[in-house]
């Protein structure tokens, strides 16, 4: 288990939406753009049997659902009308997004999770900082978080000394994965639906490849790994 393994696991969960006999290739392009953040590959197919104009969502060799193409494209184009078939497809997609972010986008996504923890003021929040300067830049945010009932943990690569922040447990970690990763994970406190996490790996030129998720099992995996792997680091 590692943070990279979590990223690889989310990436491997990609599903495929096969659009059979669409009226035009533009429909396929629209759907590909719409579902890109859900790790859905959209492709065009031709049906030899069955009705015209339908789409099949699959994961590997498993067919998850099939929907009428008219019902599928309607909310994408107009955001109105009957959504029964569209909802049947969406229920098979979690809200995990997977993309490449720059530093500004990573900061914005991190703040969303920190704000959610701040509003709850309960539960556990774990955040990673590649450099001590990055933590220092966010020290006021974490001082406020540490002043609540939250159990706040911050992780910084070894070689740096961390100024004490009241209510925040520091972990100085001799680990390449901490030095190369950016993460913020919150367990939701008393509300399971509030669980959320951001996890990404720097892959050159200050761009980060990873995901944002509300999937409780993924959030739990990140939190459990950090809590266990680096429990002794301080």
Q: Give the domain CATH number at 19.
A: 3.40.30
Same domain, 85 and 106: no
- 128 by Cβ neighbours in 10 Å (0-12 / 13-18 / 19+) ranks as buried
Please work out, in degrees rounded to the nearest 5, the angle formed at the alpha carbon of residue 3 by the alpha carbons of 199 and 114: 30
For residues 67 and 121, state if they share a domain: no
Domain boundary among 90, 110, 128: 90
Is 0.85 topped by the overall pTM? no
Kindly report, residue by residue over 185-234, the tens digit of the pLDDT. 999 998 999 999 999 999 888 889 999 999 999 999 999 999 999 987 77
List b or e across 161-191, with b for residues whose CB sees 16 or more CB atoms inside 10 angstroms. ebeebeebebbbbebebbbbbbbbbbbbbee
Separation of CA 21 from chain center: 32
- d(CA 121, CA 76) in angstroms, rounded, equals 37
What is the helix (H) or strand (E) element at residue 17, kind and residue range?
Answer: strand 15-20
CATH number of the domain encompassing residue 224: 3.30.870.10
User: Are residues 20 and 121 located together in one domain of the fold?
Assistant: no
If pLDDT is split at 50, 70 and 90, which confidence band does 154 have?
very high
Domain that holds residue 203: 97-229
Same domain assignment for residues 122 and 76: no
User: What single-letter DSSP state applies at residue 47?
Assistant: -
Looking at the 3D structure of the chain, how many domains does it have? 2
- The reply to whether 111 and 76 lie within a common domain is no
Residues 56-104 have pLDDT tens digits of 999 888 898 888 887 776 544 433 333 445 666 666 776 677 788 889 9
For residues 196 and 18, what is the distance between their CA atoms, to the nearest angstrom?
A: 30
């Amino acid at each position: 288990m590692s943070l990279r393994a979590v990223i690889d696991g989310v990436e491997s969960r990609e599903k495929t939406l096969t659009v059979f006999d669409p009226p035009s290739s533009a429909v396929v392009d629209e759907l590909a753009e719409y579902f890109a953040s859900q790790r859905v590959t959209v492709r065009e197919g031709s049906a030899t049997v069955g009705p015209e104009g339908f789409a099949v969502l699959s994961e590997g060799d498993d067919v998850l659902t099939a929907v009428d193409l008219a019902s599928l494209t309607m909310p994408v184009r107009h955001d109105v009308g009957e959504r029964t078939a569209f909802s049947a497809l969406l229920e098979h997609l979690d809200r995990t997004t997977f993309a490449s972010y720059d530093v500004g986008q990573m900061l914005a996504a991190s703040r969303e999770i920190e704000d959610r923890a701040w509003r709850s003021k309960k539960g556990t929040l774990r955040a990673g900082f590649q450099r001590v300067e990055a933590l220092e830049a966010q020290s006021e945010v974490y001082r406020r978080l540490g002043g609540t009932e939250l159990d706040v943990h911050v992780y910084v690569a070894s070689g740096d000394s961390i100024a004490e922040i009241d209510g925040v447990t520091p972990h100085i970690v001799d680990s390449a994965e901490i030095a190369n990763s950016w993460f913020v994970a919150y367990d939701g406190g008393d509300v399971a639906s509030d669980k959320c996490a951001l996890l990404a790996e720097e892959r050159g030129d200050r761009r980060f490849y990873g995901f944002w998720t509300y999937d409780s099992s993924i959030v739990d995996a990140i939190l459990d790994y950090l809590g266990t792997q680096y429990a002794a680091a301080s």
